Structure 1
Amino acid sequence: MNLPHFPVLFKIAVSGGNPTSTGSTPLSIVDSNNSNDIETGEAADQAIIWAKSIGTGQDLAGLGRALAIDKNGFLWVGMFYSGRYWKVNPNNGLTIGTPIDTQTPFYHQPYGCQVDVNGHLWSVDEANTLAEIDTSTGKLVGIYQHPDSNYSIAVFNDCTSSPPKVKVYLSNRSGHTYIVYDPDAPPTARFSNSPGSIHQFPSYAVAVDKAGNIISGSFTGEVMKTTPSGTIIWSNSSVVMLDLHGLIIDENDDVWAIDRYGGRVVRYDGGSGQTGPSDIVKVGLEPYTYGNTPPPACNTPSTPPACAKVTDKDIHCEPNGGYSYTFSVTNNSGKDASQILLTPTQGSSFTLSQQLFNLSPVLHNGQSTTLTVKIKNVKPGTKVCFFLSFTGKDHPCCIVKVCPTLPTCGATQSPSPQKTDGRKR
């Protein structure tokens, strides 16, 4: 007789232990004490470090749906039916303290979650609310409601400021691709939909790369990478899917799309969006994800030797306001570049007249080109920062940070070569 039981959380060793299962052979699990739960000693596979039931009372016959790791390594388990979160000790699987209720002022059923670098847990449901929990105090900060329907979640941690600024992205099932939540915006303006300049579609999948670009996936297989301001970096619909149900960004910033009913994952090159037959991997029955991630980390690019060198040539005021900025770019990435993309850093208010430059012929390694952009909506004498990235076939992800200081109006500036904060991935 299968009586109701509490959700069970497993910790499994990546290496070590003595697995007793090979291939598709199921593990032996025997309910030796008739508790209707799985305890550590009842799992025959010794690679299972612990197996603990989570919850009390109303969590009986519940569903542990959301799981995240905070910056101190503690686990946070969201209960879908009972609408609450438990803090769990990662060493033994035991719960810590009392659960955090997420049912007031709106009924929030945890579906996926992520903890940011400031220690705040963001929880998405399958309806239209976003919950915020302070993991340092164990208190619910708030539950926020918007008019559309969400599903999966991604968080961008911008550590160029102190404290780091955070943006929360939710996939939008109502047809607007994704939803943005900005905790630093005025309360009435914290939610916004994706820019109207990008393709709008219902989505179960959203992710953010290390530079803050957003990757979205349509139900039928379109995968699209865009800047926060709405410039399309690439879009690929070549792989038709039966249910694109989640996106994962790997350490190389490549994108993995999960085809639920196709039983497979598909890799897209993070720089170009290209994919091929060797990038399609069969993985089993109905895989999907909705945004559970490793411990929080800064997304700010690191500073190894730059894969591109930027040298200022001229900055001057325009008659009708704004600035004209001319600079040269040298390709040191080791690969040909066919495009250059300029992306203002997160939270910037200035605008660039052109962000995407098509290079014809391509820019070979060691070659330089000169670009001119108009910078508007900025005060004289300030420093503005944007990311410059190369794209191209088989091109590694190359990003440099460019930060010119603007002169006072009426002056012309020909500065010495600036240092660029760049990396090659």
Structure 2
Amino acid sequence: MDAVSTSVEYAESGGTVDQFVDPAVLVEGLARAGRAAQRQLAKMSTTTRAEALHLGAAALRRAAPVILEANAKDVEDGEAAGLSAAMVDRLRLDPARIEAMAAAVDQVAALDDPVGRIIDESSRPNGMVLRRVRVPIGMIGIIYESRPNVTADAAALCVRSGNAVLLRGGSEAARSNRAIHSALVGGLAQGGVPAEVVQFVPTQDRAVVGAMLAASGLIDMIVPRGGKSLVARVQADARVPVLAHLDGINHTFVDRDADPAMARGIVLNAKMRRTGVCGAMETLLVDVLFPDPHGLVEPLLEAGCELRGDARTCSIDPRIKPAEPADWDAEYLDAVLSVAIVDGLEGALTHITRHSSGHTDAIVTENGDAASRFLSEVDSAIVIHNASSQFADGGEFGLGAEIGIATGRLHARGPVALEGLTTYKWQVLGSGQIRP
């Protein structure tokens, strides 16, 4: 048995791989095994891959008691270590969340397979036919923190799109991730998918992250899911293409022509439904001519949200604290919200241009011209009219699940699901043509 196999076996029994093999050798061995398995996966029919995912979802449901037991230990350790309430919320599982996880795997299985889809086709004057056809990217590395559901979501999306995946979860969710991975891979194997298609790094050594980022030629794309420091490190150090967003500094602008009742409901939901998700509103912008600004802030305050505002906002309610300059660039991921009164649509656009992270920004208005300008001029991956920013989620977009939100301008943008995990190749069909 080679060093990598020995170290993996030892780690799965509760040990550490560090004394057996260095991280670079470990990552190379896992990536090579994954690439070999991906070639087998690519030969499987779309029906076979879908059926294997349904078996994986069923295995997750059967393993719910084991997963919950593992998660309870992770949550206990996380609370003892002082994890924030937002981080604990992301970490915590319950029967409903496990069912949602399994349902997401089933939903991914039911999606149309993008692999082999002809993007476009044209004929040249010489009679040659040119096609662009979707193909898997290959070997995907996922580096993530806190959220155990990423283990299942990432695996399902990669398998459905014909990719292999190497998962490196955070130490705070190590038990939960291992339990989810074990159950899901067991179900996939029943459907004929090689276990090496979905691999889990068997150590929490942080040097493994560096090894993954340096694995050019072995890992084809890295997707980080986690806090700002993790994503910043990945983007700074990677020698492998990265698909990510750094911050979710999301704005909701309530225009003067917004319906007050609609605006109240959207604003409260956008912030307080779940404060720790990347689609949560972090800054509320209110048109100076909106007739009921107190009606927007009162429900937030009553729900326990701390508000930090500019001078005009602080005059609305004495419970609002003065904002510091840093508040306009803060991703709180908590029950804290910055609020500014702005001079109409122009003021909102100026503020968003200066402070938005390009993730998700929304407008609430009944004015069609204002909505059209906002949707056209705000340069974010997701722009929303008359709905909560909490819809910034692959499942809500009908994508089944997401591997992450991308705010860059190349390859994929917004919620990244099956299509975002494919690239394309050209197929050229000739009939004897030679170039003069």
Q: TM-score scaled to structure 1, two decimals? A: 0.25
Higher helix share: 2
